[in-house]
Structure 1
Amino acid sequence: MSKGHILIVEDEIDIANMLRIYFSGQGYTMDVAHKGQDALNATRKQLPNLIVLDINLPDMSGYDVCRELRTTTRTSHIPIIFLTQKDERSDKIAGLELGADDYVTKPFDIEELKLRVQNAIAASARQKNVHPITNLPTGGLIEEYLRGLMRQTRPWAYIDVKIQQFDVFSEVYGWSAGDEVLRFMALLIGEVIDKYGTPDDYAGHPGRDNFVIITHADDVDALTENLARRFLDEIQQHYSFIDRERGYMLVSDGNGDQRVPLMSIGVGYVSTMTHHFSDIREITEMAAENRRRGGSGESSTNNSDDILTAW
């Protein structure tokens, strides 16, 4: 199992390759970006557990990259270690003031950097309640974010998403295949938010087969319907050819083989456009109830009920 996903942002190719090879050998999955904008694009595709960020980049400074990551809701929790040739006290203070978690000066000791990476990822998991598979915020952070939203006047919607038949899939295909589905789901949510949401939208992972999206989008139905359709289309790749062709799994129990539908998602949401919420529990319970009723919105009738209804 991977120890975590690291994004290296470094324009010196030799250093970037050395770090990629070293940390891959230590059990991490790696991505490398040579420009600041490439790094920002990479975080939109997949959230890393940690970013090692050079300050001197060809298109924008590492400070600007850090500022963008810290002011974007979905990436604000990712630990950042600055890696730079600058050794001035003022440079270190500037990086830490932007929210960087650590600062390493070139030339550096690779073993020391490894320990700093390990410590930063561990501290993030302890303090920020991040899911180890998807790197999305879990219960504590989601509640904290909701409390802040409830003090604001800008309208928003809370979307409850559940992967149906996920537990059966994991039993048949194994826990590793189940983890891949969770990573796929996190990536899909990020892509849908990019297309149909806003830069301030938020995604969380409170439970193994349960995800949440908090969006300021004007058209929540477009977001949820696209999410459901893409899930149905793309989840097929996680099944064997035989299961894809017949459209279900065969699962043995005491009564013989039973047909179990392929995974789908159930979606329900609530919005401050139509409700005033007094506490967080009211929000989560109402959204979950709408999901169980099979509608994406606040009534059970929806043009996409055939897609969104739970099996």
Structure 2
Amino acid sequence: MTPQARILVADDDPALCLLLRETLQDAGYEVTIAGNGDELVRMAQDQPPELILVDLMMPLMDGFEAIRQLRNDTRTAHLPMIILTARSTSSDVVTGFDSGADDYIIKPYDIDVLLARIRSHLRRAAQLPVRNPLTGMPGNVLLQAELERQLSQGHQFCLLWIDLDNFKAFNDAYGFARGDRAIHMLAHVISETAAREDFVGHIGGDDFAIVHFGNAPEELCKQLIAQFDKQVRSLYDQRDLDRGYLRGIDRHGVARQFGLLSLSIAVVTTSARTFTSVDHMSQVAAELKQAAKHISGSSYVVDRRQSAPPAPDNSHERRGQHRPEALLIIPNEALRATIATTVRLQGYRPMIATTVVAAQGLLARHPAPALIITDVEDPAIWKLWRTLAIPTPLIAIVTDEAAVQAAHARGATAALIVGENLGDLTDQLLLHVPRAAITETAERQRQNELIRELQARASRFEREANEDSLTGLFNRRYVDSCINDLSALAAQHGQPISAIMADIDNFKQINDQFTHMLGNDVLRTVADLMRQAIRDHDVVARYGGEEFLLLLPNTPLTVASAIAEQIRTLVEGYTWHRIEPRLVVTISLGVAEQQGNDPHQMVAIADQRLYVAKRSGKNRVEQ
């Protein structure tokens, strides 16, 4: 038995949960309880246990579906899962195993038998797998053994640490099933690109490694990036490819635009320096990977430092120093390189982006740059700048005197004209970019990180309270809290306000025929289509199940009806066959404009008209 192994029990019977908790705790296990299938999935994903006991008949989501979702999630796919249920027909048993269960125990159960089976599954799980369960590639244990062998024998080789950028945003937008496809695709690209004699491994999650024995690691990096950037586009919906980004929430709770999946590659070689251990080599690789992640898009960083005699110990002077970051948003390559070199000389760590979307991805990881230097031709630059939590100096790079005046009018700290001689620009930058202060102590840095974490946590809690976790739309709680304010504001300014109630047609049949996971994909896609049709000041929410509510300030009934028809057309015309060849999805909508002072009456009328649309044949707008 694994001491203090954590077992997650999912059952909607409180008495049985109490009995299981006491029994398992007496046997030396830590026990957590989930009251339904949805709670089980969320708890297992947030903090994976060592083993799961799950009942089949639970509210919100049954045990079969919960197990299927956990098996499709890379964080929980490897966990032992035991069904504990009173349902004993052979069809239930077969369905349980087909869903991904490892064992099936029928109530009433024998406690000694239950404990023996738990011990057996935990023993089997404790035997570390030598291959990653998702990709089948050699896992972390074999990778470490290979590195130790090569270092001990003194062979020359390169370690390539490969990491996916923007993977969380991709998972949040498309779900874990498509996230797994991205992992499989990267594994295939690595296997096909690496030389036959190279060792390739899947460290875990979205991290891979290649132990490369050739003399051209940079060429290998270029080939990996070229193949990945070419193939990754097939994983995206066409509307997202056309737009060039996904909408998502970063780990600080800030809404951002995330670019396409890309690669950050760190290259460490034994040809130039000596490594004392695998831990030493992996620390250097981690440092280089962070440098690569400061560059938007697919990139690689090679360690070119030479081994040298130990330097005098000045750790008391260096300890805790932190280089502030400068965000560069410059499309021109030569100009970008010149500015990056200058800010490095001034003591900054450059974060390099070519577009505003790429800059959003960098800010998701490093949200507080000390300085921004940017080409201002894209007006979205100014909006991005004003979303920063901390006021940040902005130096605008412009082409003429008129653009200088415009940049100053928008609040730029400085505006520098770039000409043909980039040396002149360097001189200007040295005058306007202050020398970076790298005196922040480790304790001060930890305090700042704690403050940022608390701010992010508060923002996340507020967002989670008002957001539907599946679609990213507002939820009913948010609508109930804001509808009276929107109505009062409309009355104050003498403006109309309208509501659209929408419901996906035949959604239960879609779930029954194609599974709930596909139904979730339909809900997310419909939510994205609604976002395309609305304006910045409109409110769209998932009102419950497959029902959506849109509140449209300063919008008369005729305009609201046109927006509803646009949504209906977008849903009907979407290429659903990409999700499932037999899938057809339509939507019915009811529209109402507020008459009087009661916005809830407006919603009720829109709901009534929705059901008129349903009874009249569906796939229509009723006003």
TM-score by length of 1: 0.54
User: What CA distance in whole angstroms lies between the structure 2 residues aligned with 1:256 and 1:286?
Assistant: 31
2:215 pairs with 1:215: no
Match of 2:302 among 297, 300, 303: 297
- Deviation per CA, 1:31-83, whole angstroms, max 9, x where unpaired? xxxxxxxxxxxxxxxxxxxxxxxxxxxxxxxxxxxxxxxxxxxxxxxxxxxxx
User: What CA distance in whole angstroms lies between the structure 2 residues aligned with 1:127 and 1:264?
Assistant: 30
User: What CA distance in whole angstroms lies between the structure 2 residues aligned with 1:284 and 1:238?
Assistant: 31
Match of 2:283 in 1: 285
Moved over 6 A (4+): 122-125, 253-256
Deviation at 1:258, TM superposition (A): 2.5
CA contact (8 A) 2:272 2:304 kept: no
User: What CA distance in whole angstroms lies between the structure 1 residues aligned with 2:155 and 2:278?
Assistant: 17
User: What CA distance in whole angstroms lies between the structure 1 residues aligned with 2:140 and 2:180?
Assistant: 19
User: What CA distance in whole angstroms lies between the structure 2 residues aligned with 1:152 and 1:217?
Assistant: 17
**Could you say what the CA RMSD is over the residues aligned between the two structures, in angstroms?**
3.4
Deviation at 1:176, TM superposition (A): 0.5
**Structure 1 residues 167 and 255, CA gap change in structure 2 (3 angstroms):** closer
Match of 2:271 in 1: 273
Deviation at 1:207, TM superposition (A): 2.1
The SS at the match of 2:133 is: coil
2:178 pairs with 1:177: yes
User: What CA distance in whole angstroms lies between the structure 1 residues aligned with 2:125 and 2:219?
Assistant: 33
CA contact (8 A) 1:147 1:280 kept: yes
5+ long unaligned stretches in structure 2: 1-67, 73-96, 99-122, 293-299, 306-336, 338-351, 363-623
2:242 pairs with 1:251: no
**Structure 1 residues 284 and 134, CA gap change in structure 2 (3 angstroms):** same
The SS at the match of 1:149 is: helix
CA contact (8 A) 1:192 1:227 kept: yes
Match of 1:262 among 257, 260, 266: 260
- Give the letter for the 2:182 counterpart: V
User: What CA distance in whole angstroms lies between the structure 1 residues aligned with 2:253 and 2:270?
Assistant: 47
What are the equivalent positions in structure 2 for 1:49-68 lying under 5 Å apart? none
Match of 1:130 in 2: 131
User: Which protein shows a greater Rg?
Assistant: 2
Deviation at 1:124, TM superposition (A): 11
Deviation at 1:178, TM superposition (A): 0.7
The SS at the match of 2:302 is: coil
- Deviation per CA, 1:241-300, whole angstroms, max 9, x where unpaired? 011111111226898853111110100111110111111111111112112112431159
The SS at the match of 2:289 is: helix
TM-score by length of 2: 0.28
What are the equivalent positions in structure 2 for 1:180-219 lying under 5 Å apart? 180-193=181-194, 197=195, 199-219=196-216
Instruction: Report the number of matched residues.
Output: 188
- Give the letter for the 1:179 counterpart: D
The SS at the match of 1:296 is: strand
User: What CA distance in whole angstroms lies between the structure 2 residues aligned with 1:137 and 1:185?
Assistant: 14
User: What CA distance in whole angstroms lies between the structure 2 residues aligned with 1:124 and 1:255?
Assistant: 35
Match of 2:141 in 1: 140
The SS at the match of 2:276 is: coil
Q: In percent, how many aligned pairs have the same letter?
A: 21
Deviation at 1:128, TM superposition (A): 3.9
- Deviation per CA, 1:212-261, whole angstroms, max 9, x where unpaired? 11010110100011111221121111111011111111226898853111
User: What CA distance in whole angstroms lies between the structure 2 residues aligned with 1:143 and 1:125?
Assistant: 18
- Give the letter for the 1:279 counterpart: S
5+ long unaligned stretches in structure 1: 4-25, 28-121
